[in-house]
Amino acid sequence: MTATVQVAPDGEPLASGHAFPAGFVWGAATAAYQIEGAAHDDGRGPSIWDTFSRTPGRVYAGHTGDVACDHYHRYADDVALMADLGLAAYRYSIAWPRIQPDGTGPVNPRGLDFYDRLTDELLGRGIDPVVTLYHWDLPQTLQDRGGWTVRATAEAFADYAAIVHAKLGDRVSTWTTLNEPWCSAYLGYASGQHAPGIQDPASAFRAVHHLLLGHGLAARALRAAGARSVSITLNPAAVFPLDPANPADAAAARIVDGLQNRIFLDPLLRGSYPDDMREHMTRFTDLSHVRDGDEAIIQAPIDVLGVNFYTPAYVSAQPGTPAAPEYPGTEGVAFRPPVGPVTDIGWQVEPAALTRLLDRLHTDYGVPLLITENGAAYPEGPAADGEVHDAARIDYLDGHLRACLDALAHGVDLRGYFAWSLLDNFEWAEGYQMRFGLVHVDYTTQKRVLKDSAKWYREVIRRHGLTGRARIGA
């Protein structure tokens, strides 16, 4: 992929001297449970997030996805907003409980029809549909049978993938199996911060394996059905030793890297779990759930790796520190509190960490990359003039797009960038209090207002690049 130096239409050269390659895809992303609402419409079954959000104390202020952004009913208007922004692609997820309300068995045609309509609406506006099959909303009935701790869920996922492909495969070319299996496994089954809210490391490691197996089986089913592009999205950690010269800090970073990165990347792209992670897992489970041949299934070829990035982590060795619940077995590893600017959710802003992460993924795994999520929570709502002046989000996005340019300049095969998120939405355990949208949503009236960041992003897309630090409306 060659990059030619680009000069913006106003004549101002790009700050970095590098450019986004021709064909670099500009998109935005959402997920079904976070925006659709219509939790009981057209035969949708309950998901683990319906159950979890109704469990007192699990989600901020008892918020649920029952209504969310009402996108299920307003999708045509939302697609019009995407077209107004000039998006080339839109990444959305399919709600498994709409397609198979019980997780297996009968297909609900009305659920499929919704995604049929949405996909046609996108194509009618010239927007490429990028489908994620699983963004955390497991049918509750499957959870009742063990969820991701059992092999049957991986097998059911492949059946579901084939069902969705049979409906949309004539129009959707890019298929992502899972979104952030680290979150599904460790937040869902180890720390319990996410649905299904279980706190059991052994279950978490079983979930890691069955999620990966589900990916491999689904990838195989999609490919057999003719899918052109198959991918998985991870949230790889940009994890660094606090003191790189200190071997104990480096060892601490290596464990976190193993638990969040290599335990997924190695089987996906090298065909086996790393030795240190196998050993680590045996502290909690006998690995009898990992059968001969599973790793070969997991290594099903992918065309691109989706990368979701928000913030780095710095760790050090501190004997006596208890393990972080979402990183089982990390006793003695301390996570440094954020330093410098943070977003509303408390995540450190450090764009250069994205460049380092992309460089590392490129060097170690040599796979084409796509930023499938990047963005920031900031609280701004409409000001007296009715506009949303979210300068900090513009700075965040601008910085991270510059980080992408740096990675491209280093030779990283980076195919595109999806901002998280198109709309303010249900931010899982944080409920609606955290706003990641380019578009502000008033949850009482469902009115949408383009934030300044949305207008800025529209300019970036129009120019196919950045210019200076100009802000819209600043």
Place of tokens 């993924």: 361
Distance in angstroms (rounded) separating the CA atoms of residues 106 and 214 = 20
Positions of E strands within 237-389: 238-241, 304-308, 312-317, 333-335, 369-373
If the CB atoms of residues 135 and 280 are measured against ligand IFM, the closer one turns out to be 135
Nearer to ligand IFM, 273 or 418 (CB): 418
Residues 168-187 that bind ligand IFM (CB under 6 A): 180
Asked if 129 contacts 123 with a C-beta cutoff of 8 angstroms, the reply is: yes
Query: Cα-Cα-Cα-Cα dihedral of 59, 61, 66, 69, to 10°?
Result: -100
* Number of residues that this document lists for the chain: 474
Compute the distance between CA of residue 280 and CA of residue 291 in angstroms, rounded to an integer: 18
CB closer to ligand IFM out of 34 and 140: 34
DSSP conformation class of 62 = G
Structural contact between residues 213 and 181, judged by C-beta atoms closer than 8 angstroms: no
Residue 180 vs 295, nearer CB to ligand IFM:
180
Residues 6+ apart with CB under 8 A from 183: 136, 194, 235
Q: Which positions from 282 through 321 interact with ligand IFM, judged by CB under 6 A?
A: 308
Tokens of 152: 């049957």
Looking at beta carbons only, is 140 or 308 nearer to ligand IFM? 308
Q: How far is the CB of 346 from ligand IFM (least distance, A)?
A: 11
Q: Tell me which residues in 410-439 interact with ligand IFM (CB under 6 A).
A: 420, 427, 436
Strands 304-308 and 128-134: unpaired
Residue 431 Cβ vs ligand IFM, minimum distance, rounded to whole Å:
11
Which residue, 307 or 472, is less far from ligand IFM as judged by CB?
A: 307
Residues assigned a catalytic role: 180, 373
Q: Distance between CA atoms of 315 and 242, rounded to whole angstroms?
A: 5
**Residue 439 beta carbon to ligand IFM: minimum distance, rounded to whole angstroms:** 15
Closest to ligand IFM by CB, 108 vs 177, is 177
In the bound state with ligand IFM, the residue whose beta carbon lies nearer, of 93 and 174, is 93
3-state secondary structure of 332: coil
CA atoms of 274 and 277, how far apart (whole Å): 5
Query: Minimal distance in Å, beta carbon 426 to ligand IFM?
Result: 8
Q: How far is CA 396 from the centre of its chain?
A: 17
- 348-387: contacts with ligand IFM (CB under 6 A): 373
**Residues in CB range of 300: below 8 A, 6 or more apart:** 215, 216, 219, 220, 223, 230
Q: What angle do CA 220, 223, 229 make, to 5 degrees?
A: 120
Strands (E), 83-158: 89-93, 128-134
Contacts of 94 (CB under 8 A, 6+ apart): 32, 115, 131, 132, 133, 164
Alpha carbons 18 and 450: distance in angstroms, whole number? 29
Min dist CB 409 to ligand IFM, Å, is: 27
Shortest Å distance, C-beta 380 to ligand IFM: 17
> Smallest gap, in angstroms, from Cβ of residue 166 to ligand IFM?
26
User: 30 or 355: whose CB is closer to ligand IFM?
Assistant: 30
Residue from 14, 31, 300, 450 in contact with ligand IFM (CB under 6 A) = 31
Nearest CA among 217, 213, 68, 50 for reference residue 144 = 50
- Nearest approach in angstroms of CB 63 to ligand IFM is 13
Tokens of 14: 């790009």
For residue 270 the two structure tokens come to 């090298």
Q: Minimum distance from CB of 93 to ligand IFM (Å)?
A: 9
> Distance between CA atoms of 237 and 67, rounded to whole angstroms?
32
- Total number of residues that touch ligand IFM (CB under 6 A): 8
**Site residues (vs ligand IFM, CB under 6 A):** 31, 34, 180, 308, 373, 420, 427, 436
